[in-house]
Each structure stands twice: as C-alpha cells, then as structure tokens.
Amino acid sequence: MPASKYAKLRDVRVLLLGGTSGIGFATAEACIEAGAIVIISSSTPDRLSSALSKLKTCYPEAATANKIHGHICDVSQAESLEANITALLEFATNNNTHKLDHITYTAANVPRLPGLADYQASETKSSTVIIRYDAPIMLGKLAPAYMNPGPRSSITFTGASTASKPTPGRGILTGLGASTEGVAKGLAVDLAPIRVNVVAPGTVDTDLLRALAGPDPKVQAGFKEMLKKVTLLDKVGAAEEVAEAYVYFMKDANVTGAVIHTDGGRLLK
C-alpha cells in the first residue's frame, strides 16, 4: 500500500475565507497538520495578523517551509465584492501560477436581522445577507479559473442546522441558512467536476457564539447551558471537532452537492 494513499492534503493548496477564528481557524490548523499549504483571509488586518502569528508559532516547521499565508478580503460590501475576491484569488495562487485545490468558506458576522414582525424589505441587502448569499455565489463565479480542474478539487461552504430545524423567532436566518445549501447544490451542478458541499454546524463554542450571548461571562455560561439541552449529546461543539467535516469534504473526491450535519444530534431531539 502506498505510504501516501490517505495523505491527500499533503502539499495541496487550501484557501480559507474566514480562517482567522472559530471553525475557520480550526480548519486551518487541521490542514496544516495534514501537510497542506494554507492561505487564510479576514476583513480585519489585526485579526489576520494575530491568526497568522498564532499559526506560525504553533506550527514552526510549516512556517519555515513557507506553508502559511494570509491576505485581507472583505466580503461584506456588494460594490467591492468581486474585486476583493479576485484580489484574494490572485494572491492565493501567485497570480494564477499555482492553482488552488480546495476552498473553504466560513466567513460570518453577528446576525443583526430583525424578527419577522419587524422585517422590512430594505434590510435584505445588509452585510449579513451579502456574506451568506452573494459572496458564495461570487466565489462560485470566480474561483474555478484559479483551481485545479477535476473532482480532487472542492469548495465547501458553511450553512447551519437551523436550515433543517428552524429556531422559533429566527425564521429569517433559517432562510439564509437554507439559501446557502441551495447555492451550493446549484454550484455543484454548474462547476462539476469541481465538487461543492456544505457543512451545517449546530452550536459551536466560538467568538461568534459569545458575541451572540453578549459580554457578560455569566450570561454566556447560561446561554451555553441552554444550548446544550437541545442536543442529544448534551454538549456544545468544539471548533476542532467541526473542522473535521471540512477536511472530510476535501479528501473524499466522490462527494458533491452534500450537506454534513455536525450538531450534537440537535436534529433528532
């Protein structure tokens, strides 16, 4: 048996949009540990610099081998979206001379959409919608020209368990999560044989979750306890656990148009 039969990420090129914190950062760590060349992005220079420093400190051999890189990319503004993603892809591929093998998209912000009773149509193009709907479509439009062709290449988006099991009072966000799955399935058809899939996390212990709960540590703890109770496993997921789903989608060249639920059994409770 060849020694590299299952080392499918060794020396491949992986771009992670939103790879500076939470699930995205954990996925970057997993890819580095698997031997990949990793490029992370963020809309915030300080966060990008901090994440790069942490990765290079934790993985000095990868840093010495020039396998850890980063670039600014804001995907929240419609007027600059195409130009920003193009600039990121140019950077990640050295001006399209080194093609990408995999792209993951975990970019997110704290959702600020209103409840249904307060909804106004003018709010549908907020940055929340752009990040979760327009940006994935734009990435699907631009990325294939910068990727190695064929089923060994993949794009993985991030949905949410609420797309399959809505949370009362958060119906608009449920629609956004479901739209991500719809976009991914459409792109799986349009971009084939490049594969396109979705990871749908439940509750994961990240900075985003803490931001939703607010700054009070006691409130955060109570929020997590409440969320644990709606899972079969009685736990909030860890970012490094959920990151495994993204790695799986990169490695299995026979899966496309699929959704992996990593939610502690929330859908069954």
Write out pLDDT tens, residues 210-250.
777 778 888 888 888 888 899 999 999 999 999 999 999 99
Backbone CA torsion sign across 144, 199, 183, 15 = negative
Distance of CA 147 to the CA centre of its chain: 18
pTM over the 0.85 mark? yes
* Structure tokens given for 128: 């929340």
Between 183 and 168, whose confidence is greater?
183
CATH for 13-264, among 3.40.50.720, 1.20.140.10, 2.40.40.20, 2.60.40.180?
3.40.50.720
Distant-in-sequence, close-in-space partners of 170: CB < 8 Å, separation ≥ 6:
115, 162
Q: Are strands 68-72 and 259-262 parallel, antiparallel or unpaired?
A: unpaired
What does the DSSP assignment read for 209-222? HHHHH-S-HHHHHH
